[in-house]
């Protein structure tokens, strides 16, 4: 498979107007609103084109720094985001790292000392294992204040997260939480005119729903983790509806658009953690919290965003979703 011809930049005038009227002191975040987010949304539209044109999924013959084998689509999607953030209109993105290239490197070096400065940490293609079957996959992006995401308090320094969702439609979930301001979480969709429109301005995990959903990742761990086995059995007895695709992004987005759900990815000595804190857990946790939900470390019950990320390869488990469901799950897992 050769390279993909880039499509025109996507536009998002509706989003820009919405954020300018919604965020506190929008003039202090002009670059975030008018440059950074539009550039990242353009990269998501480019990735959608790449995936639609990738009729053969194959090993690329390389591995990332973590030793994970790379697919051809891993390399192409990484390049799409790198290209978008390297453009002159994205000059406030000064540092970036990804799961495919897990080292923080400079993106732009020419900026005013008083200008906005952001770090991007991203997983360009989450769900590589299910992409050959043409299931929904996604992109995960965290946006941090300042020149690094390491050794910073995630609860205040990670100020935005973006999920790209590639299924029958191309959609995106955006969460923003600026210091001393409530968070917002909204859904966008990409039109045939290559424009992003807001389809839900306020996603919430606090809705009253008739159906209750659960997504049990790392299900094999239940064989040696009695508390996890008990929890899964409880969901079945209480007739919860299973919604698990094998992909982190589609399972979380299902909960967000339905208004209810619990996602569990526990860790055991025989079933080790796969999710990386910088590229998956922290961005996801911000989105869940901005939607009114809760995201915690499944071993301790501590909020994911309470602990600084010290290194790019830090991994962990997670329980996230509706607050009541997370509290209930942690009560079982912690034997309380």
pLDDT per residue rounded down to tens, the chain (336 residues): 344 555 678 999 999 999 999 999 999 999 999 999 999 999 999 999 999 987 776 665 565 655 566 678 888 999 999 999 999 888 999 999 999 999 999 998 776 555 899 999 999 999 988 988 999 999 999 999 999 999 999 999 999 999 999 999 999 999 999 998 999 999 999 999 999 999 999 999 987 778 999 999 999 999 999 999 999 999 999 999 999 999 999 999 999 999 999 999 999 998 888 899 999 999 999 999 999 999 999 999 999 999 999 999 999 999 999 999 999 999 999 997
CA 217 from chain center: how many Å? 16
Helix (H, G, I), strand (E, B) or coil at 2: coil
**CA torsion 211→231→328→162, rounded to 10°?**
-70
- Report domain extents, the chain: 13-200, 213-333
Per-residue model confidence (pLDDT) at position 66: 58
Per-residue model confidence (pLDDT) at position 71: 75
Per-residue model confidence (pLDDT) at position 2: 43
**35: which 2 tokens?**
């440059």
Tell me yes or no: is domain 13-200 CATH 3.30.540.10: yes
The pTM (predicted TM-score) of the whole model is 0.93
Residue 207 makes CB contacts below 8 A (sequence gap 6+) with 258, 259, 260
Per-residue model confidence (pLDDT) at position 287: 98
Nearest alpha-carbon partner for 187 in 73, 40, 100, 287:
287
Per-residue model confidence (pLDDT) at position 258: 95
Answer whether 169's CB lies under 8 Å from 197's CB: no
Pick the CATH number of 213-333 from 3.40.50.300, 3.90.1150.10, 3.40.190.80, 3.30.70.1060: 3.40.190.80
Per-residue model confidence (pLDDT) at position 53: 85
């Amino acid at each position: 498979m050769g390279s993909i011809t880039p499509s025109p930049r996507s536009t998002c005038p509706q989003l820009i107007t919405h954020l300018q009227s919604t965020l506190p002191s929008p003039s202090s975040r002009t670059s975030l609103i008018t440059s950074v987010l539009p550039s990242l949304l353009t990269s998501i539209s480019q990735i959608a084109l790449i995936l639609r044109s990738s009729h053969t999924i194959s090993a690329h013959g390389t591995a990332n720094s973590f030793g994970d084998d790379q697919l051809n689509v891993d390399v192409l999607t990484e390049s799409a985001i790198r290209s978008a953030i390297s453009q002159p209109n994205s000059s406030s993105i000064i540092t970036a790292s990804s799961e495919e290239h897990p080292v923080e490197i400079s993106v732009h070096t020419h900026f005013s000392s008083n200008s906005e400065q952001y770090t991007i940490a991203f997983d360009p293609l989450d769900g590589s294992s299910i992409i050959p079957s043409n299931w929904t996959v996604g992109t995960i992006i965290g946006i941090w204040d300042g020149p690094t995401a390491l050794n910073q308090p995630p609860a205040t320094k990670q100020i935005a997260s973006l999920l790209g969702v590639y299924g029958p439609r191309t959609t995106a979930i955006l969460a923003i939480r600026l210091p001393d301001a409530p968070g917002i979480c909204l859904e966008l969709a990409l039109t045939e005119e290559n424009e992003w429109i807001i389809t839900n301005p306020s996603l919430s995990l606090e809705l009253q729903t008739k159906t209750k959903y659960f997504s049990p990742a790392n299900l094999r761990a239940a064989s040696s983790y009695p508390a996890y086995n008990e929890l899964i059995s409880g969901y079945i007895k209480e007739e919860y509806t299973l919604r698990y695709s094998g992909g982190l992004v589609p399972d979380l987005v299902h909960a967000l658009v339905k208004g209810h759900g619990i996602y569990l990815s526990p860790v055991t000595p025989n079933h080790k953690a796969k999710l990386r804190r910088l590229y998956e857990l922290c961005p996801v946790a911000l989105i869940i919290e901005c939607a009114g939900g809760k995201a915690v470390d499944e071993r301790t019950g501590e909020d994911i965003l309470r602990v600084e990320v010290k290194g790019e390869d830090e991994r962990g488990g997670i329980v996230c979703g509706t607050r009541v469901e997370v509290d209930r799950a942690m009560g079982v897992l912690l034997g309380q």
